[in-house]
Amino acid sequence: MKAVIQRVTQASVTIDGVVKSNIHQGLLVLLGVTHTDTNQDIDWLTNKIMGLRIFNDAQGAMNLSVGDVDGDILVISQFTLYASTKKGNRPSFLEAARPEKAIPMYEEFVNTLSRKHNKPIYTGEFGADMKVQLLNDGPVTIILDTKNKT
């Protein structure tokens, strides 16, 4: 799994002109799933996201997690995180998991993250044409890859 985590003051996802989800202070997580991902990848990635100390404390140092600030989380499926541009100019998405693998993994990721955060996780819609808006705070953007844990 790959994830791009952005600290935001607000973020939303719109599908067919209708806002599906809207958050304020928290994290926007763009999530990509590949063929070899397992529940262990979900567990590692959700722990890492919940533990990231990327919110400012009273002294202005990045020392607090999303749970510490009671922030919201918006998760958007993003198969393009597995784009390969090694040959030519048209990206190949062969490393992205097919929907029959990706959808259950995405749903389990959201459910696991919700349990660990102890609050609902906001989402887009898998496979939909989504318009994502965000106000990146900092900006703070972190990239995590479960195949690169060490």
Domains and CATH numbers, the chain: 2-145 (3.50.80.10)
109 is annotated as an active-site residue: no
Identify the segments of the chain with pLDDT beneath 50: none
Active-site option among 46, 78, 123, 146: 78
- Supply 85's token pair: 């541009």
For 48, the enclosing helix (H) or strand (E) is helix 39-51
The active-site residue, picked from 6, 46, 55, 79, is 79
Q: Of the residues 80, 93, 133, 141, which is catalytic?
A: 80
Is 93 marked active-site?
no
CB 134 within 8 A of CB 124: no
- Longest alpha-carbon distance in the chain: 49
Write the DSSP assignment of 67-126 as a string of letters.
Answer: TTTT-EEEEEE-GGGG-B-SSSSSPB-TTBPPHHHHHHHHHHHHHHHHHHHTS--EE--T
The residue length of the chain stands at 150
Q: Are 79 and 96 in contact (CB under 8 A)?
A: yes
Q: Is 79 a catalytic residue?
A: yes
Which pLDDT tens digit goes with each residue over 54-87? 999 999 999 999 999 999 999 999 999 999 999 8
